Chain A
Amino acid sequence: MNNFTLGKYVPYNSFLHRMDPRVKLAMTVCLMVCVFLAYSTWSMTFLVGGILFILAVILLRCTHMGIKDVLKSLRSLWFMLFFLMIIYIVVPRQTHTLPIAWEVGAWVVYWDSFADAGKIMLRLITMMTITMTLTASTKPLDLTYALEWYMTPLKPLHFPAAEIAMTISIALRFIPTLLDDTSRVMKAQASRGVDMEHGKLMQKITGITSLIIPLFVSSFMRSEELANAMECRGYDPTAKRTRYRRLKARFSDFVFLIVANALLAGCIYMCVTSFDVFALFGVTAL
């Protein structure tokens, strides 16, 4: 459980950490769109993709997330990418713009297949890096507040944005508590002879049941007591409430937002006009 770093917050004080979470969320969306747009040629695709990837890596390093943690998260990805590569190479292509890679009888493999696989890999890794940057620099609770803010236009439509945000924030606050409960129940059942490594399948199933049921029961009990406490403190989900925590966007946040939007605009332009920077320099692109 402790090794799952894809969504882990890294406590540090970089400019990214200080940035308003709503701006970070918007920037993430901008960058993601840039990554997934289609560009004119292979050269452009890899050029833009490469620049975006380097940008994402720079931002990730700014959050002071360790390289080891990044590699650990990507570990699960390598296998999938390898598998994807195999599929691209084996499945025959209809169209191609690049020359033949090799020919074995009726099986023709073009360089396009490799380029396609490479494009997907680059996009996925860039996307993961952007996401990791967001989660490493933003506390889950702040993300919740940002999402809630984005959902406020839906309030007139009776969308329960505030209740959802309250539910998520309480769930987040209880994660350490529930992890403690889990640890306690596991130890108690282990002391009664539950052995998850050896033994027959039936015993293992009963072993898992002996963990899940107490956790369910204690979670329900916790939520009932919590609901009572909240009611006693005057909580009414449908009534108006003031807010203690306020998100404050600063001038620097707006600057970053504008830069991200400019980048997005540029990428959209390049996509729509099939812009080719290599042609500008008179170089024949692939």
Chain B
Amino acid sequence: MSIRFTDVFYTYNPKTPLEHQALKGINLEIVEGSFVAIVGRTGCGKSTMVQHINALLHPTSGVVTVDDFQNVPEKKKRSKNTKELRQKVGLVFQFPEYQLFEETVEKDVAFGPKNFGKTEEEAMEAAHKALLEVGLGEEFFKRSPFELSGGEKRRAAIAGVLAIGPQYLVVDEPTAGLDPLGSKEMMALFQKVHEAGATIILVTHDMALVKRYCDKVIVVDDGTIAKVTTPDEFFLEDIEKYSLDSPELYKLARFCIAHGADFDMKSIHGVTAFSEAIAKWKGVKHE
């Protein structure tokens, strides 16, 4: 079971002066159980792509399949069980804290499950479980979501999607605006969700996250898939051409190589390994 894009094209505002072709022939497969990163500069079509996965958008041409759901241009030929799809594919937008609206945090998190047919008790149970998963304890349940701090709000919003129990979780820039520790905690949460069996699709600009957590990188450039590879392979090359910023580690390594160092880039995966390589290059004996 997987997500598959076949020759997908998408045009915003067709036949108007604002016409814009966002997707120009996407062919892609995301296998169940993977932790994938979708990267590319702002405006390359990443958000447009992921909105096809849960049928918020329908292709102008081509097919997007999610397990057995067919998302096609013609309404008649499209699969009808959109609700089931949206339960399977959880989509967390950037700055999700803006979607909070209920009187209490637990009610807001229970909103999703209730929409998908759970009873009041089942929804509450799922909400409590999700809130504990994101690190919001019982003292938060009955509070108003608008009283929470920015980071707490974000966690509550994500709990709202996790409570639905999706098999595929798409997250768009989940660490935007968070401090370094907040970022780490957020990614640890997604790692836990991944280990529990979900497929994680991370849309991000942060190459450090891609290096640390993902097993596959999909590079989108101007509406097409420029590359599908592993993070290790990806950072070996100069990714500036995709308007992306290499992690500092790789930039420095390339700088050293340009100045005569002879590193095996594949062996440089962390600060310690890199420092060993530099020490060897500079002929320093470890005391």
Q: Do chains A and B touch in the complex (CB under 8 A)?
A: yes
A-B contact count (CB 8 A): 56
Asked if B96 is an interface residue, CB under 8 A from chain A, the answer is: yes
Report the nearest B residue to A203, measured CB to CB: B115
User: Which of A184, A190, A193, A206: most chain B Cβ within 10 A?
Assistant: A193
CB of B56 within 8 A of CB of A192, answer no
Chain A residue numbers with a CB within 8 Å of B98 are 181, 184-185, 188, 214, 217-218
A209 touching B101 in the complex, CB below 8 Å, given contacts A191-B56, A194-B115, A217-B146: yes
Interface range, A side: 20 to 34
A195 to B161, CA, bound (A): 16
Query: Chain A's interface: helix, strand, loop or mixed, by majority?
Result: helix
Asked if A101 is an interface residue, CB under 8 A from chain B, the answer is: no
Report the nearest B residue to A218, measured CB to CB: B98
Q: Mark A195-206, 1 if CB is under 8 A from B, else 0.
A: 100000001001
Q: Mark B46-74, 1 if CB is under 8 A from A, else 0.
A: 00000100101000000000000000000
Chain B residue numbers with a CB within 8 Å of A218 are 98
Asked if A189 is an interface residue, CB under 8 A from chain B, the answer is: yes
Asked if B9 is an interface residue, CB under 8 A from chain A, the answer is: no
CB of B86 within 8 A of CB of A187, answer no
List A residues 184-236 near B (Cβ within 8 Å): 184-185, 187-195, 203, 206, 209-210, 213-214, 217-218
Chain A residue numbers with a CB within 8 Å of B231 are none
List A residues 163-200 near B (Cβ within 8 Å): 181, 184-185, 187-195
Chain B residue numbers with a CB within 8 Å of A184 are 93, 98
- Interface residue count on the B side (C-beta < 8 Å): 22
A4 to B101, CA, bound (A): 29
A189 touching B99 in the complex, CB below 8 Å, given contacts A184-B93, A194-B115, A203-B115: yes
A181 to B112, CA, bound (A): 20
Asked if B184 is an interface residue, CB under 8 A from chain A, the answer is: no
Chain B residue numbers with a CB within 8 Å of A190 are 56, 86
Chain B residue numbers with a CB within 8 Å of A195 are 83, 115
Given A181, A185, A192, A217, which contacts B111 in the complex, CB threshold below 8 Å?
Answer: A192
Q: List 17 A-B contacts (CB under 8 A).
A: A184-B93, A185-B98, A187-B51, A187-B93, A188-B96, A191-B91, A192-B86, A192-B99, A192-B112, A192-B161, A193-B83, A193-B112, A203-B115, A209-B101, A214-B99, A214-B101, A217-B101
B residues in contact (CB < 8 Å) with A: 51, 54, 56, 83, 86-87, 90-91, 93, 96, 98-101, 111-112, 115-116, 146, 160-161, 164
A residues in contact (CB < 8 Å) with B: 181, 184-185, 187-195, 203, 206, 209-210, 213-214, 217-218
